[in-house]
Amino acid sequence: MTVPIRTGKVVPLFPVGGAEVLVPREIRWPGGTEPCPAAPLLAAGLRRRGLRVADGIVLAGSGPPRHLPPHERAALAPGWAGAPLGVPGPALAVGHLCKGHGEAMRAELSAAARALRPRRVLLTAPRSFCAGVERAIRAVERALAEHGPPVHVRKQIVHNTHVIEDLAGRGAVFVDELDDVPEGGLVIFSAHGVPPSVRARARERSLRVVDATCPLVSKVHAEARRFAGRGDTVVLIGRRDHEEVIGTAGEAAAATVIVEDAGDVASLRVPDPRRVSYLTQTTLAVDETADVIDALRKRFPALRGPRSDDICYAATNRQAAVRAVLPDADLLLVAGSPNSANSRHLVELAHRLGTPAHLVDRCEDIRFSWLRDAATVALTAGASAPPGLVERLAGVLGGLGPVTVTERVTAVETLRFGDPATAGLS
């Protein structure tokens, strides 16, 4: 949508599809273009206040738009005569105010104004995709390229909204159960793994399977079978409803008990306290898991565990990277979806260490109130979040004032997993 306005003259902008406020992506006039990178934040804030918002491009006349009567339009822009609140910073909004909504608009613009300031942005490294996530995404992309759409995937291939939307747009079909896959069809198992019962059901329905289970999760599955095979009770530390935990527990269902935190250990009953082993969900927070293992050791002194830590190297590295920047940060923003365990744990880690932190699935999730006192913002991304999301977040912050971006590298990841086997799928 492109909406013309002329300097010094009110030109009706609406109705436009029933919207009450226009928040432009950019403002153009003959002498230049003013991008509005923070526009998504303002638009989302106005929607949360109950306004119907449209976005688009505003065309100005011979010069930058001037501030128009407050009950008809509102503007927040750098150096423009009469800019409301007298604050500098990139353009955020030019919009028509319908009767009765002026207070909501003024409140949101006021919140935006308090968030305008120069900032330092600290990017953690490593961040974003891990080797297991990249492998799983490649499996879907390869299947689409070789077999064409639709390609069915059981559950979400990885826990990220952007990845799922992208692959769905290219022909991937995400299903909850194998009965939703056509008989004899092609199905991909997600990076989180599946229990043996799902593999058996795939054989019953003659499905062609590409197993994109992360190799580190497959390692935990093998350990569960080995521990149960030697007669141990397997204590699995993790979230009961997480797909990875469901898959791991299914490998030795009769011998496995699940504990979520140290508090669960006190009530734990096992057939033989001398024969107890533990495993962990790969995406847990390192310090929280250590507390649970300590509680298990106190309760079961003969406790045995895996030869190496089950927690994924990527989860460990991203948690260490966050720890390294938190002393210098006023706020941590974690790019990731709500159902991403490793992303949520980064937020929880910051909270335990006393730094405000928020999970951000989309730029629109950011609230101006978070940024009011945040001169230094740390940005990171969970292992299932696309790298481009962090770049977009940094760009949005740049729409609220000058930004200096610095990357803090705490580890360099070089691990890469080979693609899942696809023999016999043609």
Per-residue pLDDT of 80-117, as tens digits, reads 323 333 333 344 444 544 555 677 877 888 888 889 88
The pLDDT of residue 346 is above 70: yes
pLDDT value at position 426? 54
CB 163 within 8 A of CB 157: yes
For the chain, what percent of residues have pLDDT higher than 90? 69
* The pLDDT of residue 407 is above 70: yes
pLDDT of residue 91: 41
Average pLDDT over residues 172-189: 97
Q: What is the pLDDT of residues 257-292, one digit of tens each?
A: 999 999 999 999 999 999 999 999 999 998 889 999
Q: Over 50: is that where the pLDDT of 167 sits?
A: yes
Each residue's pLDDT tens digit, 355-386: 999 999 999 999 999 999 999 999 999 999 99
- Please determine, for residue 7, whether its predicted confidence score (pLDDT) is greater than 70: no
Tell me, what's the pLDDT at 423?
52
Say yes or no to pLDDT of 219 above 70.
yes
Q: What is the mean pLDDT of residues 210-224?
A: 97
Annotated binding site: 130, 159, 192, 214, 242, 282, 312, 340, 342, 384
What pLDDT does 60 receive? Answer: 62
Question: Is residue 78 scored above 90 in pLDDT?
Answer: no
Asked if 120-127+314-409 and 216-299 have one fold, the answer is yes
**What local confidence, expressed as pLDDT, does residue 401 receive?**
86
Q: What string of H, E and C letters represents the secondary structure of the chain?
A: CEEECECCECCCCCCCCCCCEEEEEEEEECCEEEECCCHHHHHHHHHHCCCCEEEEEEECCCCCCCCCCCCCEEEECCCCCCCHHHCCCCCCEEEECCCCCHHHHHHHHHHHHHHCCCEEEEEEECCCCCHHHHHHHHHHHHHHHHHCCCEEEECCCCCCHHHHHHHHHCCEEEECCHHHCCCCCEEEECCCCCCHHHHHHHHHCCCEEEECCCHHHHHHHHHHHHHHHCCCEEEEECCCCCHHHHHHHHHCHHHEEEECCHHHHCCCCCCCCCCEEEEECCCCCHHHHHHHHHHHHHHCCCCECCCCCCCCHHHHHHHHHHHHHHHHCCEEEEECCCCCHHHHHHHHHHHHCCCCEEEECCHHHCCHHHHCCCCEEEEEECCCCCHHHHHHHHHHHHCCCCEEEEEEECCCCCCCCCCCCCCCCC
Question: Would you kindly state where each structural domain of the chain is located, as residue ranges?
Answer: 2-115, 120-127+314-409, 131-214, 216-299
Q: What is the pLDDT of residue 29?
A: 67
pLDDT band at 419 (very low <50, low <70, confident <90, very high): very high
Whether residue 223 lies in the annotated active site: no
Whether 63 has a pLDDT exceeding 80, the answer reads: no
Please report which confidence band the pLDDT of residue 66 belongs to, taking 50, 70 and 90 as the band edges: very low
Q: Would you state the pLDDT for residue 239?
A: 95
**Token pair for residue 213?**
């289970």
- Higher-confidence residue: 94 or 304? 304
The residue from 20, 34, 244, 260 that is catalytic is: 244
> Is the CATH code 3.30.70.1230 the one for domain 216-299?
no
User: What's the chain's average pLDDT?
Assistant: 86
- Give, in words, the CATH class of 120-127+314-409: alpha beta
pLDDT at 15: 38
- Give the pLDDT band (50/70/90) at residue 61: low
Residue 32: pLDDT band with limits 50, 70, 90:
confident
Task: Judge whether residue 416 has pLDDT over 80.
Answer: yes
Given a cut of 50, whether residue 230 has pLDDT beyond it is yes
pLDDT of res. 53: 84
CA-CA distance, 296 to 278, in Å (whole number)? 9
Flag the least confident range among 58-67, 238-247, 310-319, 376-385.
58-67
Contacts with 341 (C-beta within 8 Å, 6 or more apart), sequence order? 159, 239, 242, 244, 281, 283, 284
Region 221-225: mean pLDDT is 98
What pLDDT does residue 55 have?
A: 77
408 CB burial (10 A radius; 0-12, 13-18, 19+): middle
How sure is the predictor about 18, in pLDDT bands with cuts at 50, 70 and 90? Answer: low
pLDDT value at 126 more than 50 = yes
Q: Which of 24-38, 87-101, 115-129, 169-183 bottoms out in mean pLDDT, i.e. has the lowest?
A: 87-101
Query: 131-214: which CATH topology?
Result: Rossmann fold (3.40.50)
Question: Is 60 exceeded by the pLDDT of residue 10?
Answer: no
